[in-house]
């Protein structure tokens, strides 16, 4: 039995955390270390750190990641700009428990298999970036939503599972930052096809959204960015996370 998790997703750009809408228009949220300290106090199940600019040029910012890892009490996953086994080794040596891979799954799947062999399936998460076309059919993207792949969703899931991944992280481009709720139909399909745990991300605006994704699909974790860190009144940055009692109620489907 996989324990259900509720996971904040923090978008890293240069040396700050940002929020985006449909992977566009990044706006500054705050300093990473202060943000991490607040999530420490709130005892988040896990944190996912995604560097939204790393794929373009510099690769992982190891100096910033070291500072984040030293500060965080929660298990952490990192994704962005990982292109080699050496990159993966550095991320794990810094103190991250998992890495999130997307582009590497398609460009150099043999490297993914090497990483899995060395660190174990539980440490490697495959990321699927997805949005629907004008016919409402889901399509797979990579490189922060900039490159479309030809695979259909079922083929794609089966292909990346063969690499030995321990988990699939589904980042819904259409819903990201919109606060329109999870795409329940899409997540139900993906979680049914996948034989490994699935993390849903994109669109959550309330704890009720998380209750719904857990009750109506087989996902193992509900992830969100704007739900947990957002601009409030007078543009003040607010950070929230369910209490232990709220989390247990949501995960167990209790009212």
**CB distance 69 to 40 below 8 Å:** no
* pLDDT average, residue stretch 96-123: 96
Confidence of residue 156 (pLDDT cuts 50, 70, 90): very high
pTM attached to this predicted model: 0.95
255: pLDDT confidence band, cut at 50, 70 and 90?
Answer: low
Given this model, what pLDDT does residue 132 score?
Answer: 93
Which tens digits make up the pLDDT trace of 44-77?
999 999 999 887 667 899 999 999 999 999 999 9
Flag whether pLDDT at 231 surpasses 80: no
Query: What is the span of the domain harbouring residue 135?
Result: 5-251
Provide the CATH number for the domain around residue 135. Answer: 3.20.20.70
pLDDT at res. 244: 93
pLDDT bucket at 146, cuts 50 / 70 / 90: confident
Residue 93 confidence (pLDDT): 97
How many distinct structural domains can be found in the chain?
1
14 contacts 53 by C-beta, under 8 angstroms: yes
Residue with tokens 């809408």: 21
- Hey, which bits of the chain come out as E strands? 5-13, 16-21, 24-30, 47-51, 76-79, 98-101, 124-132, 138-142, 147-148, 167-172, 198-201, 221-224, 229-231, 237-239
> Cα-Cα-Cα-Cα dihedral of 122, 9, 145, 27, to 10°?
-160
- The mean of the pLDDT values for the chain is 93
Q: How far apart are CA 39 and CA 96, in angstroms?
A: 16
Q: Give whole-number Cα distances, 219 to 95, 122, 209, 215, 232, in Å.
A: 26, 16, 13, 9, 30
């Amino acid at each position: 039995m996989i324990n259900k998790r509720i996971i904040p997703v923090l978008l890293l750009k240069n040396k700050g955390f940002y929020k985006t809408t449909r992977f566009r228009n990044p706006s500054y949220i705050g300093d990473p270390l202060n943000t991490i300290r607040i999530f420490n106090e709130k005892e988040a199940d896990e944190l996912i750190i995604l560097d939204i600019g790393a794929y373009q040029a510099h690769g992982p910012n190891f100096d910033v990641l070291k500072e984040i890892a030293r500060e965080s009490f929660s298990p952490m996953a990192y994704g962005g700009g990982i292109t080699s086994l050496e990159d993966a080794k550095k991320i794990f040596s810094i103190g991250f428990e998992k890495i999130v891979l997307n582009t590497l799954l398609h460009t150099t799947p043999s490297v993914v298999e090497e990483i899995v062999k060395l660190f174990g399936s539980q440490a490697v998460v495959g990321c699927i970036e997805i949005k629907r076309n004008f016919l409402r059919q889901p399509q797979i993207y990579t490189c922060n939503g900039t490159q479309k792949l030809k695979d259909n969703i079922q083929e794609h899931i089966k292909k990346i599972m063969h690499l030995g991944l321990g988990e699939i992280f589904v980042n819904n481009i259409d819903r990201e930052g919109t606060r329109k709720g999870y795409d329940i139909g899409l997540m139900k399909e993906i979680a049914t096809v996948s034989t490994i745990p699935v993390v849903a991300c994109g669109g959550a605006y309330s704890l009720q959204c998380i209750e719904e994704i857990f009750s109506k699909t087989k996902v193992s974790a509900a992830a969100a960015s704007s739900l947990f860190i957002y601009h409030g009144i007078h543009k003040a940055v607010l950070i929230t996370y369910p209490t232990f009692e709220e989390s247990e109620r949501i995960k167990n489907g209790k009212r």
